[in-house]
Structure 1
């Protein structure tokens, strides 16, 4: 099953159609009990955790509680909005109470709305230093600027959410919230009233565009210096989001040992790591070059003009589009954006894993197992499964990036 291509609606439907009956057979209450990762793994559904985390920005528990609606009936009372602006939180809760009491909105849909609003507020806070969504809504003079601020938050949705359908649902929730504020005279205007006109989001027409391996290789090939090549590697070879790559620091990188990786203390889903399956020597060379400057601040993409000390997400997007344009690469007639690199990474990873499973079919047949997936789940440790998956992806990435350079091994290839 290709988990990464499923929307939240499809994953929720899979829960009720497939997971819930299995829980019932195991003596659990599928309307309240949250299945554990171990239980899901035992039944071959561990892939849902990866898809939720990387494609939808949710942990499995967040999905089961906030989207499916499982957990204690009193769980809503203790919901952690993740922002510290009391007026905004009160407005969110008042809006949701209205939906439940006056419009009769189904209880199962409230957690989804809550997730949408919380994510909007958190991104707003991260960009502007405060989650205060209300103060500027009383000032008509602030309206143009506030519209721009909200559109910038929606730009983050556009870059990070998987499909047009999901993006539209988030926008519909946020727009409805602001409409509520206007209707009840808590705001003089709705800053996202016409936001849909600014994006090419089409309901029922998911944007599944991605780049091919050849196209990524072509973009990489036109990168003239190590900085630009590292930019392409970070986006397409490591699967980083543009903002993560822009702010990457040398202190986050663990380049020695058998498991080179990037450490994130604060990522969209909390702390975590990203494996460096390719390009270790390239990033090491970049660090060596930057370290020659005594004033270097530790950022892999430093900027003396920015208060943050590093380039902005928009700069990453602009540089990537420039490289793609120079390479003559288009996707559906348009120059690709940086977010298509992340989609490429997921597609390539899934294809690499599928190819690896195909190679295990012979083992499955010899063991009398139903499929290679059963062999992976039942006969290999998690560490061994991870090793197989990473090696498959490592070989895929080598084929992409080494095709743009002279042949070299995965570990020794370094952009010139």
Structure 2
């Protein structure tokens, strides 16, 4: 049966469809070069000439193609394919699951992060189905002529979310996840546009983080204790003990490091967000040296502290740093305001720790100031200590704070 017009889908029972799948469709997919070690997609089934099975399953058996395939051996326990999306559009389900698989395998996001995104995407897809009849997100975004209508449809869905969700932060997280899904489709030439790209401009949602949430010292200790490899230790140190941005961590190179002498530091050039400068390595130089020695065993090593053979740049990305950091947080059971912490919270920890160290320093200098008949520790700092001495005191007090956290 090579022509779909000869297949009487509507007359087949579920048992007959399973038999037909095994005897006709699977061999056809194999001849077409489809790897049947993994669950075939709706697109692959349709390309082989059997798209009618999805319609028959939906209309006559109240079942999606994904659900049907789980009955003929294409579902692993606990895998994303077991998730009930609550929509009928197989093309959209396939692409949603492909996207989640990309997040897990390639971007290496923490499992809990992927599941949270899955839940938000499912909520959006179900609302879309409720207000528009079908959740055919992929097909509608594939045709550029649909852009105006699809933006309108997306707005209707976000009107519902705007009403149902309690905070602006929650609404923006939903928007971010949906937008990233459409961007994924675009990168694979399956979407001609992103209908939600500018939707935040329609609402008065605030992106402010008034409390600038940061990790606590105890939480950073738990993250560091959860590490199993030098590379993981270095990520925690680079974010929390050195205060680097995640992109700076990803691209760290030995050419930037000055580890000898009394002033170990990292030197940054014009590529840094706030311009050239240095970052003092107050704590963790031993870990850094150990990482370099480990990498030097590879004769092909290019000098990056977080190398990647699959990346054109030769090193991992900032997103990968974030993903690894959040996996550690998941393993350590660390949450900030109910969410997995971001790499930015590690940098904020550095700032709060530095401020605490400076407060301790000023309190100690207050004693000296009082003995000199002054009420202002700043006078001592300015008039009685050289720049080198001031730097030394600042680093000593900061080192004490970091040693308390990292167990040094």
In structure 2, C-alpha distance between the alignment counterparts of 1:333 and 1:296, rounded to whole Å: 40
Structure 2, unmatched stretches of 5+, are: 1-143, 152-167, 173-192
Aligned to 2:352: 347
Q: Contact (CA 8 Å) 2:254, 2:303: kept in 1 or not?
A: yes
> Aligned ranges for residues 152-163 of structure 1 at < 5 Å?
none
Deviation of the 1:201 alpha carbon:
4.2
Q: TM-score if structure 1 supplies the norm length?
A: 0.50
Residue 253 of structure 1 corresponds to: 257
Against the structure 1 CA distance between its residues 189 and 337, is the aligned structure 2 distance closer, same or farther, given a 3 Å change threshold? closer
Once residues 395 and 324 of structure 1 are traced to their aligned partners in structure 2, the CA distance between those partners, rounded to angstroms, is: 24
TM-score, normalised via structure 2 length: 0.51
1:275 matched to 2:263:
no
- The counterpart of 1:322, out of the listed 297, 322, 327, is 327
Alpha carbons of structure 1 residues 321 and 197: separation in structure 2 relative to 1, 3 Å:
farther
Aligned to 2:379: 374
Report how far residue 370 of structure 1 moved: 2.1
Residue aligning to 1:237: 241
Q: Which structure's CA Rg is the greater one?
A: 2
Q: Distance in 2 between matches of 1:198 and 1:291?
A: 52
Structure 1 residues 358 and 267: CA distance shift in structure 2, 3 A: same
1:303 aligns with 2:301: no
* CA distance in structure 2 between the aligned counterparts of 1:214 and 1:363, rounded to whole angstroms: 32
Aligned equivalents of 1:293, 1:198: Cα separation in 2 = 53
Unaligned runs of 5+ in 1: 1-139, 148-163, 169-187, 403-407, 409-416
Distance 1:397 1:372 in 2: 24
Q: Deviations over 1:265-288 (max 9, x none)?
A: 121122111000011111111001
Superposed, 1:200-239 pairs within 5 Å as 201-203=206-208, 206-239=210-243
Q: Determine whether 1:313 maps to 2:318.
A: yes
Report the secondary structure of 1:227's partner residue: helix
CA offsets 1:74-113 (integer angstroms, 9 cap, x no match) = xxxxxxxxxxxxxxxxxxxxxxxxxxxxxxxxxxxxxxxx
The 1:197–1:220 alpha-carbon spacing in structure 2 relative to 1, beyond 3 Å, is farther
Q: 1:189 Cα shift?
A: 11
- Residues 164-189 of structure 1 show CA distances to partners (whole Å, capped at 9, x for unaligned) of 99xx9xxxxxxxxxxxxxxxxxxx99
CA RMSD for the aligned pairs? Answer: 3.2
State the 1:243 CA deviation: 0.2
Once the two structures are TM-superposed, the CA of residue 334 in structure 1 deviates from its matched residue by 1.2
Size of the aligned set, in residue pairs, is 225
Any residues of structure 2 matched to 1:10-409 within 5 Å, and which? 193-195=198-200, 201-203=206-208, 206-265=210-269, 266-402=271-407, 408=408
Give a deviation string over 1:324-349, Cα, whole Å, max 9, x none. 11100111111111110000000000
Deviations 1:220-253 (A, max 9, x none): 0000111100110110010000000000001111
Paired residues of 2:366 and 2:375 also in contact (CA < 8 A): no
In structure 2, the CA distance between the partners of 1:393 and 1:326, relative to structure 1 (3 Å rule), is: same
Structure-2 separation of matches of 1:289 and 1:194: 48
